[in-house]
Amino acid sequence: MKKYNQWSIYFLFIGLFFILNILNTYMLTASILNRYIAPFTHTFLGELNAFLGNFSVLFLIMTVFFTFIKKAKSRMISLLALTFFLNFFIFAMGVFNMFFGTSFSIPASTIFKNPADGFALGTFFNALLELITYWRIVVFIPFIVLLVIYKLSDRNQLQAMFLKITVQKTLSSVLLVSMTFFTAIMSYYQQFQAVLPINAVKSTFAIQNLGVYPYYVGEFFGKPFDLDLQRFLDLEEEHKIAEAYQFYNKNQSTYTNFFDNQVYSNRLLLTDAVDDLVVDPSIRNDNLLHGILKDRNLVLIHLESMNQFLLENASISERFIFLNRLLEQSFVFNNFYNNVGMGVSSDGELAVMTGLYPMGDRTLYWEYNSIDYELESIPMFFKEMGYYTEAIHGDKETFYNRDKVYPELYGFDHFHALEDFIEEGYEVESGYMYDTVNQKIHHSPWISDYHLADFTYGVGSSLLSQSTPFMLFPVTMMPHTPYDFDPNGIRDGLYPEYENLISRITMKYISYVDYIDDVIKRFFVSETGEDHTLDQTVYVFYSDHGSGLKNGDLDILFDETLSVIETRKILQKVPAWIYVPGDEMVDYGDYGIRKGLLVGEQNLVRSQVDLFRTIVELFDLPIDDSPYYGVHGLSKEPTFALDNRLMDVVMDDYIYSMKSPDTIYPLHEEVSEHIFEYIKRFKMLSDIIVSSAEMQSIIRDSIRGRYGN
């Protein structure tokens, strides 16, 4: 080729470097290219701003490179290497989207502090599989195109092409681009504060409206984009704090519900409860439901990754033989949702234990290392009443920083973790023989949930024999993405209607139902069929979060084409129920289940924060006048459920995205500005509570001082 053609190739290479790497950012910001994200509504101003931001960062990096690199060939190699790095970064961020459904931010990186034993290999293979099955290989197109151009060029001529940039031109270019960059930043902040000023969504909003590259460069250099919400909402004076939180406070003798304008109370009456509620006379207190479970023990069971759709799909649900029988004797939440954010399992615990929403973009359990939170919790209330409290988990004690959080933040008397089980003789390598007759062994890197159930019964029985009231908190370990370590595994003919139609990971997940059913049964029925139900004990079950299956398989399981927002609703919907066993047995042949003393169904929306209030009031825990914000699980009071990671809001009649209110299901519904602002402000106020060590105490004292509660 002639020399001037090499100049053309050189400038084409540079032009494509900008164009392709900027276009590649849409793999993280456009739902049509990335099914794992929940974006904001795309706007012209936002797109223009993002283009300027992305271009500015790429140009500044290129300018730095070219200041020290003079030869055309070397410059092309440097941009080629940079492109590969950027493409790999886009791929890695896409993998993060796949597992967490939102955009990465530096505060979210605390999630990687958890020990990865048992998860790492399966997660790694899932990420590699994503390259093929979901065509994530396309994120490397910029690198491939530039590599081809470089290979087709005359590298000898490029090596001889020497370019020199004057200091004056460099400074002028940098100054011009810097001004453009700072203009983009100012525009971003104005848009963010006007649209949805919530820290949990700032990363998603920023990569769309500021640009992927400038946002992450800012995060890398330690310049977070967090808003000071207390200042933003002008809540720096005590009386303003009291007014703001009292408006949402449900711990009042009377208050007016925002959604139906009806008056409710923190003392629920039977006449105000759901219509089909049946309360056994042995626990009735005339017309008052408050405190009907007082002085009973509590076993609060945290179920890992269980979606409600497992109970709603006929083929899958029929395999829950024991669970379906147990639910007949329970009060069941049919429309229950998680409130989790980036802390997933730990966030589910936080919502239930404290009645507070997690921030969404960080993990409070790990934040506790630097912020000495003073939060009130269910274990603290039980301890105040003289109960013994213990958390039981089959993973390492450092997982989610639980070795500090459980005893220090929540106030548990004891935390029994993997290390304790091993010290007592549990051999992880050998597994757990859960069926001695058939010599069936469960192998996993953690304590088998069969053993968790057996151990829970043992602790409870010992405490009962000592007449010691107790609250136990067993946390199951499986199923957990990527759904390995099922002792039964995938079996031929288990779901013939879905074979060769759904992905292997989905088949692994729905095959886990036999194990889940057996483990739940094990809490009440021993291996040999003996009754293991603890006397005078209430069992409350809830799942922390859903399965995260966003690969289109739900369309097949539900036999219909689901919109993105419908899919998200299904994945956020999890089971929860309250079982209050009496003494009478219901015989099922090989075993019996004690007849439930509290039976019924709640079909209105409820979520994990509502479970906190429900437990507090049913057990008459000594919360006194501390504010809480959920509704009672047994009442007819309407409310909403908020996913704190994606900012999806579920109402009784519809679900919508706070990021994009037009994203709604059913399509004929519409979100009023009144409702949108009410929930937005509550979320911002909620974030203030969990962003400051003493804020919950400050709010309580402010309300007391202002309203005399």
- List beta partners, residue 576: 333, 542
Helix, coil or strand: residue 600: strand
How far lies 570's CA from each of 30, 88, 313, in Å? 22, 31, 12
pLDDT computed for residue 435 by the predictor:
92
Strands (E), 145-290: 255-256, 263-264, 278-279
Domains along the sequence of the chain with CATH: 3-227 (no CATH), 239-707 (3.40.720.10)
Helix 504-511 and helix 513-522, axial crossing angle in degrees, nearest 10? 20
What would the pLDDT profile of 443-469 be if each residue is shown by its tens digit? 999 999 999 999 999 999 999 999 999
- Cβ-based burial of 155 (10 A; exposed 0-12, middle 13-18, buried ≥19): middle
Number of other CB atoms surrounding residue 612 within 10 Å: 25
pLDDT computed for residue 650 by the predictor:
98
Cα–Cα distance measured from residue 512 to residue 481, given in angstroms and rounded to the nearest whole number: 11
Token pair for residue 406? 């459980």
Token pair for residue 215? 């946002």
Cα–Cα distance measured from residue 552 to residue 564, given in angstroms and rounded to the nearest whole number: 10
- Cβ-based burial of 211 (10 A; exposed 0-12, middle 13-18, buried ≥19): buried
Residue whose tokens read 């886990």: 512
What DSSP element (H or E) covers 655?
strand 655-657
Query: 448 near 432, Cβ under 8 Å?
Result: yes
pLDDT computed for residue 185 by the predictor:
85
Helix, coil or strand: residue 238: helix
Hey, CA dihedral for 432, 435, 441, 447, is it positive or negative?
A: negative
First to last CA, the chain: 86
Q: What is the DSSP letter of 635?
A: B
Q: What is the DSSP letter of 399?
A: G
Cα–Cα distance measured from residue 264 to residue 92, given in angstroms and rounded to the nearest whole number: 48
Q: Give pTM, 2 decimals.
A: 0.92
* Nearest by Cα to 655 from 642, 637, 674: 642
Low-confidence ranges of the chain (pLDDT < 70): 1-4, 115-135, 155, 158-170, 222-224, 709
pLDDT computed for residue 242 by the predictor:
93
pLDDT computed for residue 1 by the predictor:
45
Give Cα 68 to chain centroid, integer Å: 45
Cα–Cα distance measured from residue 332 to residue 561, given in angstroms and rounded to the nearest whole number: 28
Hey, CA dihedral for 245, 247, 251, 253, is it positive or negative?
A: positive
- List beta partners, residue 474: 392
Strands (E), 18-122: none
Token pair for residue 227? 């808003």
Side-chain half-sphere of 228: how many Cα atoms within 13 Å? 4
What would the pLDDT profile of 257-310 be if each residue is shown by its tens digit? 999 999 999 999 999 999 999 999 999 888 999 999 999 999 999 999 999 999
pLDDT computed for residue 647 by the predictor:
95
Cα–Cα distance measured from residue 172 to residue 164, given in angstroms and rounded to the nearest whole number: 15
Q: Strands 592-596 and 581-587, how do they pair?
A: antiparallel
Cα–Cα distance measured from residue 635 to residue 159, given in angstroms and rounded to the nearest whole number: 77
* Nearest by Cα to 203 from 341, 340, 344: 341
Q: Which residues contact 658 (CB under 8 A, 6 or more apart)?
A: 196, 198, 201, 647, 648, 649, 676, 679, 680, 683
Residue whose tokens read 């649209």: 195
Task: Tell me the residue type at 351.
Answer: A
